[in-house]
Amino acid sequence: MTKEQWKAIQNNDKNYDGKFFYALKTTKNVCRPSCPARACNPKNVLIFNTYEEAAERGFRPCLRCRPDQPEWQGAGAELADAAKAYIDSHYTGKFSLNDIAGYLYVNGSYLLRVFKAATGMTLLQYHNYVRCTEAQKLLEDPELSISIIAFRVGFSSSSHFTRVFKNIVGITPSAYREDYIEELVR
């Protein structure tokens, strides 16, 4: 093990993920350099170039950093994806932070922090984004009024819908509809 590798392990440096893997003789786990597990003793560490090399030597994948799943982005990203899926399937109804947190078996405050860190948005911002994306599709139908669209995507008033839509899309729903119709005519 080089000093650079040890420093990467100590600092949980994501830049070294995929460049090497380390295994612990004591726990028989193999980890990525960015693994959030507690610090280990360097005398118990073995370095491998690939996860497969470590697995062949009898080491099992760490459940915190999942070195056997290269596409895995971490527990926070996984939790954020699960929260997104919940919102995507419930965007028209009313739900609370406690509803989502209970469904995902996590603390609400923790969910808020992790979701914001993983997506750069709050749960409410994402919820409104999903509703406005669906509203954009419905605005393509000139037969539907703005009020009907607002209610279909889960808003309780068309004025609130218009404010949120303008904040997210940049124009009002009626201006969006006019722009869409103009595009069709061209």
**Class of residue 112 by CB neighbours under 10 A (exposed 0-12, middle 13-18, buried 19+):** middle
Report which of 158, 159, 87, 90 is spatially closest to residue 126, judged by C-alpha positions.
87
Burial string for 2-12 (b: 16+ CB within 10 Å, else e) reads: eeebeebbeeb
Q: How many CB atoms lie within 10 A of CB 154?
A: 19
Q: Which residue out of 31, 35, 62, 132 is catalytically annotated?
A: 31
62 is catalytic: no
Residues that are catalytic: 31
